[in-house]
Amino acid sequence: MPVRNDLFSVTIGGGLKRISMKYNYQKIITAACSILMVFYSCKSEKQELVDNIKAGEEKLFSDSTLQLNDSVAIDVLHNYLSYTDKFKEDTLAGDMLFKAADLSNGLQNPKQAIELYSTFIQRYPKHQKVAAALFMQAFLYETALDEKEKAKSKYKEFIQNYPEHPLTPSAQSSYDQLDAGLSDEELIRSFEQKQQSQK
C-alpha cells in the first residue's frame, strides 16, 4: 500500500529507490537555481554599471560652461575601468576602455591615458579606434609629456601602420617637426616663409 507525502511518494518495497531519485532531482534543481542566480546577479551587476556610466556621462560637463566636472569624471572613469576589467569580452568593453583613456587625458593625467591607450591596443587590436589610440599616444608624448623621442617613435609607427588614415598627414607633419628639431615658433616661421614664397 502506497504512502503519500508532499515531498516524497513512497511505496512499500520500492520506496528507497523513489526517495533516492527524488533526492537527486532536488539536488539538480537546487544546482540549476544556483547557476541562474549567479547568472542574473552578473547580469544585474553589468547592467548597473552600464546605467551608472550612462548617468555619469550625461553629467560630465556642466551645462553653463561646458567644463569637465572632475568629480563626476573620476566616478565615470572608475566605472569604465570596472566594466572593462569585469567584462573584457563584452562588445562594449573596447569602447569603454578607449573612453577611459580619453577621460584620463581630459583629467590632465597623460601618463594614465597613454597606459590605457596601450592596454586598449593590446586587448582589442582589431578595434576600429586602434589607429586613433596610437595617434593619441604620440600626441600626448609630444605635447603633454615633452618626450620627443617616444613621440617620434609612435608617430613613425602610426605612419607605417596607417598610411591612408586621415590623421596620417598630421602625424607626418609632427614627425618631421620633431625629426628636424624645430620649435613651434621655428615651424610657424618656416610655414610663413613657404606661404610667402608661393605668392
Q: Which string of DSSP letters, residue by residue, matches 131-193?
A: HHHHHHHHHHHHHTS--HHHHHHHHHHHHHH-TTSTTHHHHHHHHHHHHHT--HHHHHHHHHH
pLDDT given for residue 135 in this prediction: 98
| Grid coordinates given for 114 | 597613454
* Average of per-residue pLDDT across 86-108: 96
Q: Is the pLDDT of residue 84 over 80?
A: yes
Residue with cell 587590436: 125
Asked whether the predicted pLDDT for residue 142 surpasses 70, the reply is yes
Other CB atoms closer than 10 Å to residue 97's CB: what's the count? 26
Confidence band for 15, pLDDT divided at 50, 70 and 90: low
d(CA 134, CA 174): 14
Cβ–Cβ contacts within 10 Å for residue 114, how many?
25
User: Residue 12's pLDDT is what?
Assistant: 47
Q: Average model confidence (pLDDT) for the chain?
A: 84
Read off φ and ψ for residue 106, nearest 5 degrees.
Answer: -60, -30
User: What predicted TM-score, i.e. pTM, was given to this entire model?
Assistant: 0.72
Does residue 105 have a pLDDT over 90? yes
DSSP bridge pairs for 10: 3
67 — pLDDT class (breaks 50, 70, 90): confident
pLDDT at 33 over 90: no
The residue ranking higher by pLDDT, 61 or 52, is 52
Angle at 185 between CA 183 and CA 113, to 5 degrees: 55
Residue 65: pLDDT band by 50, 70, 90 thresholds? confident
Q: What is the predicted pLDDT for the residue at 7?
A: 45
pLDDT-based confidence at 157, cuts 50/70/90? very high
